[in-house]
């Protein structure tokens, strides 16, 4: 299967876009555009309630395919069975509390829920509802049930809801849903090998206030690790330091600034983590003292800046593991003697895997692509050629999943 998923007769992956009856239904038009313009064949299946927000003519015009919400149209083609059987991916956006409930209990009272029952391809649900509805134990039980079956259920975003309300329950941005859909299509029918696992990922680069020692880490690799782990069924906690990227749909995001902040954030969640991937660039040093306000320039030469070491988070969590069989992955950026330095660092840190990449001008930092060698504590080495950061992320999770399954 290609990276884009199983193809139709005309070479295009087949996607079912389900739309349930919430005000966010209009945002699914943008998701439909992203899917069709990237070469996917998309059949839209709205619920009857969704058609009160966006009409069938809109969906048909944007998708170029017929639109119906019931099982009584075109019965000779048995659409309630055929559509799910032939799909390479089913996405429901928005997925209301009602849709989640019907999907979790196996209802088949319209074309969309019948399609969900017959689909044997990856399924992605993007919930949207008021905060109280999302937090209700019934909804949370339904989400837990669906995830236990291998359905990828994104956590809703935080933001403005219907009326004047604000909170968690907003539909994730269509771009984020599209990225998650693309990742699922790339994996196709491969098993959800991180299903039920909690993984912690760090991303970005730590800094101290105002002026800082740091690097150009953008957080893109850490965010790719989060996005791909979600697509493989994991519960993801993403600890991000000074990252200017959109919040990844489906991850619990913890924002930090300094190395000490990150150490505390990792410690808070380490005990529940099956795997911890330290992709962040943690500054090795920080100023011994920090001014509470900006230091003004004067005619006198500045005092030398005295540096002290930051905590070595990777070494700490590797040597004092919060739970048995926890898999810990580090990242190492090297400029010369890359593999020799990487092996020495792997031994010193005590982690299970170390992703070593060569950095420098136009390499690794703040780029969409990456290449690396993944060193293992048992002496194995896995070469990952230059490719997207998602591809490197999947290579990391492949090795993590094997270790978790032992």
CA of residue 147 relative to chain centroid, distance: 15
Strand (E) positions, 105-213? 123-127, 152-153, 157-160, 166-170, 198-204
Residues 6+ apart with CB under 8 A from 80: 71, 108, 111, 114, 115, 118
3-state secondary structure of 110: coil
* Complete DSSP assignment for 254-322: EEE-SHHHHHHHHHHHHTT-SEEEE-SB--SEEESS--SSPPPP-SSPPPPPPEEEPP-HHHHHHHS-S
Instruction: Decide if 350 contacts 319 (C-beta within 8 A).
Output: yes
Provide the token pair at 55: 């009409």
Q: Is residue 242 among the annotated active site residues?
A: no
Q: Output phi, psi for 212, to 5 deg.
A: -150, 160
The one catalytic residue among 10, 142, 215, 341: 215
- Measure the CA–CA gap between 62 and 230, rounded to whole angstroms: 29
Please give the helix or strand (H or E) that residue 226 lies within, else none: helix 220-231
Catalytic residues: 215
């Amino acid at each position: 299967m290609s990276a884009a998923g199983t193809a139709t007769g005309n070479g295009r992956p087949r996607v079912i876009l389900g739309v349930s009856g919430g005000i966010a239904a209009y945002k699914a038009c943008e998701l439909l555009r992203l899917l069709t313009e990237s070469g996917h064949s998309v059949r839209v299946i709205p619920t009857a309630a969704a058609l009160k927000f966006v009409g069938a003519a809109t969906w048909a015009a944007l998708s170029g395919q017929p639109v119906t919400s019931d099982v009584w149209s075109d019965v000779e083609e048995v659409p309630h069975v055929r559509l799910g059987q032939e799909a390479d991916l089913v996405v429901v956006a928005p997925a209301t509390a009602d849709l989640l409930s019907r999907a979790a209990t196996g209802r088949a009272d319209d074309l969309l829920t019948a399609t969900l029952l017959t689909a044997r391809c990856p399924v992605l649900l993007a919930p949207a509802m008021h905060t109280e509805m999302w937090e209700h134990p019934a909804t949370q039980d339904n989400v837990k049930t669906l995830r236990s079956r291998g359905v990828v259920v994104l956590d809703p975003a935080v933001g403005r809801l219907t009326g004047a309300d604000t909170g968690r329950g907003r539909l994730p941005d269509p771009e984020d849903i599209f990225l998650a859909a693309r990742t699922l299509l790339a994996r196709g029918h491969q098993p959800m090998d991180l299903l039920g696992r909690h993984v912690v990922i760090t991303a970005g680069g730590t800094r101290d206030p105002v002026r800082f020692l740091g690097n150009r880490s953008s957080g893109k690799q850490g965010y790719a690790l989060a996005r791909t782990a979600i697509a493989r069924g994991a519960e993801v906690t993403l600890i991000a330091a000074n990252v200017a990227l959109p919040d990844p749909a489906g991850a619990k995001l913890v924002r930090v600034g300094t190395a000490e902040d990150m150490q505390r954030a990792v410690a808070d969640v380490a005990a529940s983590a099956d795997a911890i991937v330290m992709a962040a660039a943690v500054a090795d040093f920080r100023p011994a003292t920090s001014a509470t306000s900006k230091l003004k320039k004067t005619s006198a030469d500045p005092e030398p800046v005295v540096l002290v070491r930051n905590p070595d988070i990777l070494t700490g969590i590797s040597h004092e593991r919060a739970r048995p069989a926890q898999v810990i992955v580090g990242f190492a950026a090297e400029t010369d003697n890359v593999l020799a330095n990487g092996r020495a660092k792997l031994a010193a840190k005590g982690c299970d895997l170390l992703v070593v990449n060569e950095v420098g001008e136009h390499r690794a930092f703040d780029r969409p692509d990456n290449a690396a060698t993944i060193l293992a504590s048992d002496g194995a080495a896995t070469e990952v050629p230059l490719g997207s950061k998602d591809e490197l992320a999947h290579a990391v999770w492949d090795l993590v999943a094997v270790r978790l399954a032992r």
